[in-house]
Amino acid sequence: MTEFGKSLRADATPIPGLVVWQLPVHGDNRGWFKENWQREKMVSLGLPDFKPVQNNVSLNETAGTTRGIHAEPWDKFVSVATGRIFGAWVDLRAGPSFGATFTAEIDPSRAVFVPRGVGNAFQTLEPNTAYIYLVNDHYSPEAEYTSLNLADETVAIDWPIPLERAALSAKDRENPRLTELRPVSPRKTLVLGAGGQLGRALRETYSDTSGVEFAERADIDLTAGNIETSRRWGDYETIINAAAYTGVDSAETDEGRAAAWAANVAGVAALARTAAEHGITLVHISSDYVFDGQAPKPYREDDPVSPLGVYGQTKAAGDQIVGTVDRHYVVRTSWVIGDGRNFVRTMLSLAARGVNPAVVNDQHGRPTFTSEIARAIRHLIETRAPYGTYNVTGSGSAMSWAEVARRTFELAGHDPGRITDVSTAEYFADASKPVAPRPLNSVLDLAKIHSVGFEPADACGTLMDYVRRETSGAE
């Protein structure tokens, strides 16, 4: 008998992520009505916004019809329109809850959200039971489908109608036992631009983690126009986009302008569409160049952008596109130093060769090492911080490039007095190639990243460690 008049409520179960939903059913002399799936109300009560793409109905003519135990690579929302079922769920995901079981009777006033990797089964308790399930992906022959034997002795489901008297398929009778199954792997993380400075730092940060794939431009090219078909995206939980066109000055040329817009805007748009379609968290790297550098204070995440050059324009456009993805992190940074050609290595080389450089003294910011950016990205993802834009730089006092140069010379045992201060205008006065305008203030406010529990390392301390490694030959 369907229970009428309940309030919409979510009830947790012993299986992580498996939730029973009590559904309001309204009945009168004509029959009954219910909102079987109501995105706004259910999401506000904690249901993942799993974006169903298919609605299936299974009519089961006889009581005792039994189907399962199947774990497909998608989330399900299961319910019944008529009749009753005995539902059984077994966690087949890799992890400490592997093998955990939950059972419940489901009538039209109850529904169950079944997360990816949890085995789902039911047995009808009445004739002509209509079983309904919404799923958020389509069948693919390339996907992994896991099934468990309905009679498995380990999970020991107490079926109301014994299986020897139940109606079930020959295939379901022959499914493997729990001890024979390979647990369902979690959805993966994909790092794009894994050959760049930040990509290499991300390789190091995730070196202890399985399920993280690294793709370089030869594997996935944002400008190739085939992002949507380059992977089976239903297998991925997160994309970290460390790929970008970063030639600040070359972007001011005709060829560079086209390349920058292709990679930083068109390619990012394709990536954002893919992430949105498949419910993937998209992590994207932004830049201080989205600002004009005229503000008298550190820039907050919500300050209006006003880029001066082509590179900044493309990064600002990419940020706006990524912001349309429900699950996104835009990590905005500045003055990046990583494994490869960078400002500090240039200064160390000049110092060792006896060259006394002129360095600009009217641009101010904080050096940001790629190891810190990678650490912040992992923190945001693993702590499930609120989605949005976060500034990530080294912490401590702001300084000019000239001050960074003097500090680098000093740490390497050279006379910091060898550095000559010049303005940005003076430095580029005789440039023979196009030069992008630079923001003079690149200091980013770090209050928001602090608020989610991440403490950026002091820029001067990280610079000291970096110079020591570089000058000692340590890897």
What DSSP assignment string belongs to 204-260?
A: HHTTT-SSEEEE-TTT--TTSS-GGGSS-GGGEEEEEE------TTGGGSHHHHHHH
| Contacting residues for 149 by C-beta, under 8 A, at least 6 apart | 69, 172, 173, 174, 175, 176, 177
Q: Which two three-digit tokens encode residue 293?
A: 């550098």
Using CA atoms, how far residue 87 sits from 9, 120, 468, in Å, is 19, 8, 62
State the Cα–Cα distance between residues 279 and 262, nearest whole angstrom. Answer: 24
Residue owning tokens 């090492």:
369
Identify the active-site residue in 70, 379, 387, 450.
Answer: 70
The Cα angle at residue 122 between residues 120 and 128, in degrees rounded to 5: 140
Identify the active-site residue in 26, 131, 133, 236.
Answer: 133
State the Cα–Cα distance between residues 309 and 424, nearest whole angstrom. Answer: 15
Which amino acid makes up residue 226?
N
Catalytic annotation on 299? no
In 115-197, where do the E strands start and end?
Answer: 118-124, 129-135, 146-147, 188-192
> Can you count the helices (H) and strands (E) in the chain?
12, 25
Catalytic annotation on 131? no
User: CB count, 10 Å around CB of 291?
Assistant: 24
| Contacting residues for 315 by C-beta, under 8 A, at least 6 apart | 244, 264, 286, 287, 289, 290, 307
Nearest to 191 by CA among 381, 383, 319, 454: 381
Active site residues: 70, 133
